[in-house]
Structure 1
């Protein structure tokens, strides 16, 4: 199953909300274009309905993908168009008095008239594009496509990996024996116990559960193993359990006529006086567990249930009693990873040709102790000559090969299950993680603030954008898509990390969706040249690549993240007309050229100069009236411009305490939206400033 609608939905939804808000708040200044905006919103609403229809589509063909891509690009361009229009409608800064105010208002009226004329022309062009997209949809007969997922026979992508892994189990003996011991201990206490194995996709949860099952099944009167999957058929699952545990043909002779309620009653009847062992594999929701678990009676016969899931919340639902156990899977140790890798390639757990040792360990590091990744990549290497150059090619191409190589297809499908299970808003936040390099520790606050600045987050049911964004962060952890690191004394997770293989999948999805363009020394830069670059992540590039980048059209880039780039000349900021997020990190050679023209970035909401060593903020910063986050940790900045206090939308003014004792700006009390101020020496600040 391969749903295809992700970033397109995440783009169109916020755009429609923005148009609705514009029509409600700016009614007095929309003369001549109000009707056109309503018409445009109506057309886009129809497209949103079609996109939602395609979220259930299995294995979309190229025509559907092309149509979705066109819708996504129209949505992006429409939002850019209206953001510029709203900017021209605004007053552009703090109020002035007297003749200056008179001339300013007169100039703004003339500017607004021009803006209305310009927006009318642009709306006309956008409606022509939308008409072409609608005609293409009709030409491709997309309305005739059956988007239901029922009735399709799908193969569980985990099966091949399971049986391949069982042939060379490494590092499973200890966990298997520990869980088997726990399952059988205190057999004199007759209540039912549940163990839920939880962890990232590909860690071997099913394999471990299966190993425990085979080790202890003879101690039970009856036993069964079933898989639930993302769209469970509860009636089929219950009947499958009955068939595995009943040896009486008479008991099951009328099974085909049983409905779900009847099936549950019959299973409870079958198990009422038996000691049973059941494995329920691959549970994706608490509702699925509740629907199935009611079929298992608490009959005081020392029965045992093992569940597997990728979602911590589901594991907790399975184990409500203090006697139950949640077992969190961890990656293989370095030693066990080596043994699995070398044994599958060379038939020995300890031998590897000298010329392949270095590249082998580099590939193993990328696998990150994930058994599925090791098995998949060794399958790929088995078909290559044992030559260092060939293995180096494999190492460099692992990300791109996820889409092209049959040996890695199973791994991609398994990892994709977690991605496909996400709602559109969470998919958008997850795709945003492709901004970060491998092994990067992603700060929670940074992720939250950048997601809000990009417009990925909306208020929900009385919760602020900050609260919603933080809930998304924790939901990604809950679903085992990212791993928590740096947990505070209060239990809050301060940062997370993405497994290398999951990052490869996210980058693959981002490229497919034209969500982010990642530019680094080892990456093909312009894989989606038909579309505008919308988000750009530059990671440790040289001057040659920077010069090539500067030739591209960067006027549609919404987010620019530059990491670990030394003394090179980056593309001028004057090329970036629609930036919402601008983040420099570890750019020690950042010069005036790189930050000149910042005053024109009127949509900028997030600005960071993390560890750049600059000694003063660009003068244009004080013109960024929509700025919400200003982060200058790891810089040599001492004094802020006096006019910084005019940035009344600023919420986070973030620095760090170091040898540079910074004063709080005078007039900071006028910045009524400020939520966080850090890195200033209050003892050096005037009382009136605080």
Structure 2
């Protein structure tokens, strides 16, 4: 019976994935069409009407797709229909871009020369116009034929035109995979579960008498259900709670009425030893809540809500629970979504437990128990390959158990069989059926996403395995790819950040590095989830990934339409044939994005780009060109013909000069020249009126103690009115650049260097006009040059910069500008080489949101005192190179949330900060190149227990790191206490 149900569920799942993937593509195209029809006035006559008709037909198809997913048949005809919808969508976008490329009359110059060119172009483009109109007609015929097939499916499958309501909500995942994580209880219970189990039991049985909600958060497959089932069935829990009930929410269609009925039925069986009365089945939501509340009155109960996807579930359930009472009632909630886990804790006492992956030792134990059941020991000749396979699981219990079960069928004497599994793990997840259990669980979170988030998540498959993904680069690419939809009152970059937060909230993206205020800096995805996303992306033809290292090279087929090409590595050996194949095939005619990762030799880069971009005019439709970390020393001339290019990234290349031809890229929105050798931008950059981000700083003369070098911007840089980010430019000798900055009223991030004292007034005047600024970095022309930013009315400047979150100042400050303490939104402040006479702490201690403070040679005094009640939100503190500083004092009640303290090059300090023991949340103390006496006091033992007095002050700190220079070669000796 279970096998039949499983087979039926798998068919549903496969069909649903196909329809949802097609919906993603079609919906994305619709948003593209809408933008084009609203913003561009160049679609005229019959061609514009044809495009609108295509849009209408595709809109009807999406309504069908949302209903079709509820059908159970796994019909290959439906899959072919979906494929045709997808290709029609992509080809329509191609035709639109080709139209814009051919007939963009706004690019023609005025005057006699312009008139001549327009006449010549119109004669030249008559044939092209006819061809494009013909292609639109062909697409219309294709969509009409697809529509006719849709009608046939509607008849065969009984599908109505009604669009499924709330498709993006979890209500429509009721047919999805039944939760089988609980089936793993017997297999996983002995590994890595005892500690969390004891912790959760202690939370449930604590002395708190009010209702308490315990949330368990984690990605799919971490074993949340397994853990809670063990807790739920523990004898101590059974003894303490009079009533218990367990509801798997995803099996109740997420309908509150059904959920409450399930709870009532379980409680009635425990109270009355029988099922509920018949009239319960006719009750509505309000009556059911009253009944449940009366049933639980004066009783101690435990309720488990497993696999909750929506905060509305708790918001409805809490009104059905008795108010007041001192019985120590408990509710346990498991979820993959952070906002769901946090929701109950706003209005009730609670505890949030984040599930962690198994350690390698725990993973190895579980793996061996399942794979080598006889002696639970891995044969020596299989150890390396097993460790490699286990590394893919990344501590995910579900993956370990399922893959172990798969490996038990392999010949333990045949190493080649095991190597084939290791190499083909991605293919196994793609659809062999053998590892469907993992794929189904990990895909569940993806399936629940709205279509716009699915596209953004799929895009993460461009990054290589274990690649630290910069969040800013990711969101910028989303914007450039037009994956981000406009939202009232928000710029696209803000919407993209909201998308990222939502994917993090759903446990699909893991944050690996973040700012003090919680903003993510870098992220990653689980290896197995990445394999699934790569598979889906390939099926959707969202991207083609080419790994050109060794034998894993993949060249697109000659008849394949490559939309996005991602190259993960490029080595010299054995690539000549690959370049030839890539250049000769016609697969790049529809290319939209070219992205590279890893180091690429200069000669190979030029040859490769030439072969991709120079054969066929349609290849000029490229929109994303990201060649970061390649060894390019110049921009290939072919790039300047890419009129549709929105993003050009040459970060960390050897580029020294930006040609004047850059002005041809009129649709460019992102120009990333960070960490190159470029020192000056041509005046033609001013033609890029759509430019939103200009990142152009160099490493020339850079040291870790001073700001990176800026570049010289052209005269009248203020003409780039669309700029949101300008980082970093040099201030010129006559204040022109400083004055021009005030014209960039949309700026969110500004970095300016080489500032002189006399530039201060002009800079303050410009800053008053930048009312949307979030980040500001200012550097003087050299360390001893004074930065004078106190030449404007304090109230005026603090009002203009009320949204400022990050402030970095590099250079001398005679005094701290008066407007800075009024910036209540500041979360991060860095002062370098300020050399102030006055204590800077008094200006910062009452900033309500300050979470990071970094002071490098900022104060000339002998000591700093952190007063009680100050720095309430501070999490990270760094004090460096204050030559006269001898002591630091921390009063009780100061910095109550400090987590990391770094002290560097404070040679006169011979004791740890006084009162450091009051910092109870401190997790890291880092001491770098400090006084030898202080280090000796920490390391040597002089007490009864062999622990020095200084060491006792930080006994509560989990990690203490000491690093000192050991010789003149500036080599470090690092030790941990």
Matches within 5 A, 1:119-138: 119-138=132-151
For residues 590-622 of structure 1, the C-alpha deviation after alignment (integer angstroms, 9 at most, x for no partner) is 476x83411221111011123232333466533
Distance change (3 Å), C-alpha of 1:526 and 1:65: farther
Matched, 1:343 2:364: no
State the alpha-carbon separation in 2 of the partners of residues 623 and 10 from structure 1: 33
CA contact (8 A) 1:514 1:528 kept: no
For residues 153-175 of structure 1, the C-alpha deviation after alignment (integer angstroms, 9 at most, x for no partner) is 95854325643554553111111
SS, match of residue 680 in structure 1: strand
Under a length normalisation based on structure 2, what TM-score does the superposition of the two structures give? 0.66
Matched, 1:436 2:436: no
SS, match of residue 540 in structure 1: strand
Distance change (3 Å), C-alpha of 1:527 and 1:308: farther
Q: Equivalent residue for 1:548?
A: 581
Distance change (3 Å), C-alpha of 1:428 and 1:152: closer
Distance change (3 Å), C-alpha of 1:285 and 1:351: same
Matched, 1:673 2:722: yes
Q: Equivalent residue for 2:417?
A: 390
Indicate the larger mover: 560-569 or 50-59. 50-59
Matched, 1:294 2:328: no
Deviation at 1:239, TM superposition (A): 2.5
Determine which of 67, 70, 74 is the counterpart of 1:53: 67
State the alpha-carbon separation in 1 of the partners of residues 498 and 35 from structure 2: 25
CA contact (8 A) 2:628 2:653 kept: yes
For residues 509-531 of structure 1, the C-alpha deviation after alignment (integer angstroms, 9 at most, x for no partner) is 11222222111157584799875
Determine which of 572, 588, 612 is the counterpart of 2:612: 572
Richer in helix (by share): 1
Determine which of 74, 91, 96 is the counterpart of 1:82: 96
CA contact (8 A) 1:217 1:277 kept: no
Matches within 5 A, 1:17-96: 17-20=31-34, 22-23=36-37, 30-58=44-72, 60-91=74-105, 93=107, 96=109
Distance change (3 Å), C-alpha of 1:45 and 1:358: same
Deviation at 1:459, TM superposition (A): 0.7
Matched, 1:603 2:644: yes
Distance change (3 Å), C-alpha of 1:335 and 1:19: closer
Determine which of 499, 505, 509 is the counterpart of 2:536: 509
Matched, 1:655 2:696: yes
Matched, 1:334 2:377: no
CA contact (8 A) 1:91 1:108 kept: no
Q: Equivalent residue for 1:363?
A: 389
Q: Equivalent residue for 1:307?
A: 333
SS, match of residue 513 in structure 2: strand
Deviation at 1:139, TM superposition (A): 5.1
CA contact (8 A) 2:358 2:396 kept: yes
Distance change (3 Å), C-alpha of 1:684 and 1:60: farther
For residues 367-415 of structure 1, the C-alpha deviation after alignment (integer angstroms, 9 at most, x for no partner) is 1111111111111111112233222211111111013344411111111
Q: Equivalent residue for 1:272?
A: 297
Deviation at 1:642, TM superposition (A): 3.1
State the alpha-carbon separation in 1 of the partners of residues 662 and 375 from structure 2: 58
Q: Equivalent residue for 1:169?
A: 190
CA contact (8 A) 2:37 2:43 kept: no
Indicate the larger mover: 83-92 or 382-391. 83-92
RMSD: 3.0
Indicate the larger mover: 212-221 or 257-266. 257-266
State the alpha-carbon separation in 1 of the partners of residues 134 and 296 from structure 2: 72
Deviation at 1:201, TM superposition (A): 0.7
Flag the structure with more relative contact order, 1 or 2, with Cα contacts below 8 A and sequence separation at least 6.
1
Deviation at 1:649, TM superposition (A): 0.8
Matches within 5 A, 1:205-604: 205-215=224-234, 216-229=237-250, 231-246=253-268, 247=270, 248-249=272-273, 252-254=276-278, 257-261=281-285, 262-298=287-323, 299-321=325-347, 323-347=349-373, 351-386=377-412, 387-520=414-547, 521=549, 525=554, 532-542=561-571, 543=575, 544-552=577-585, 553-567=587-601, 568=604, 569-570=607-608, 571-575=611-615, 576-588=619-631, 590=632, 595-604=636-645
Q: Equivalent residue for 2:214?
A: 195
Indicate the larger mover: 442-451 or 52-61. 52-61
Distance change (3 Å), C-alpha of 1:504 and 1:249: same
Indicate the larger mover: 498-507 or 348-357. 348-357
Deviation at 1:449, TM superposition (A): 1.4
Q: Equivalent residue for 2:655?
A: 614
Matches within 5 A, 1:620-631: 620-631=661-672
Paired residues in the alignment total 685
Deviation at 1:204, TM superposition (A): 0.8
State the alpha-carbon separation in 2 of the partners of residues 218 and 47 from structure 1: 56
For residues 260-309 of structure 1, the C-alpha deviation after alignment (integer angstroms, 9 at most, x for no partner) is 43333322222111100111100000112223333222333111111100
Distance change (3 Å), C-alpha of 1:17 and 1:220: closer
State the alpha-carbon separation in 1 of the partners of residues 637 and 245 from structure 2: 67
Q: Equivalent residue for 1:179?
A: 200
Distance change (3 Å), C-alpha of 1:102 and 1:427: same
Q: Equivalent residue for 2:955?
A: none
Deviation at 1:469, TM superposition (A): 1.2
CA contact (8 A) 2:677 2:698 kept: no
State the alpha-carbon separation in 2 of the partners of residues 201 and 30 from structure 1: 50
Distance change (3 Å), C-alpha of 1:639 and 1:408: same
Deviation at 1:64, TM superposition (A): 1.8
SS, match of residue 530 in structure 2: helix
State the alpha-carbon separation in 2 of the partners of residues 322 and 250 from structure 1: 32
CA contact (8 A) 1:197 1:306 kept: yes
State the alpha-carbon separation in 2 of the partners of residues 56 and 528 from structure 1: 34
Deviation at 1:416, TM superposition (A): 0.9
Under a length normalisation based on structure 1, what TM-score does the superposition of the two structures give? 0.91
Deviation at 1:20, TM superposition (A): 4.7
SS, match of residue 400 in structure 1: helix
Deviation at 1:115, TM superposition (A): 5.3
For residues 223-263 of structure 1, the C-alpha deviation after alignment (integer angstroms, 9 at most, x for no partner) is 11110017324333323222322231567232563324333
State the alpha-carbon separation in 2 of the partners of residues 374 and 24 from structure 1: 51
For residues 103-135 of structure 1, the C-alpha deviation after alignment (integer angstroms, 9 at most, x for no partner) is 344445556755543432222222222233234
Indicate the larger mover: 316-325 or 249-258. 249-258
State the alpha-carbon separation in 2 of the partners of residues 647 and 603 from structure 1: 12
Indicate the larger mover: 100-109 or 189-198. 100-109
CA contact (8 A) 1:157 1:414 kept: no
Distance change (3 Å), C-alpha of 1:643 and 1:432: same
Deviation at 1:7, TM superposition (A): 4.6
State the alpha-carbon separation in 2 of the partners of residues 495 and 145 from structure 1: 47
Structure 1 unaligned runs (5+)? none
State the alpha-carbon separation in 2 of the partners of residues 579 and 11 from structure 1: 19
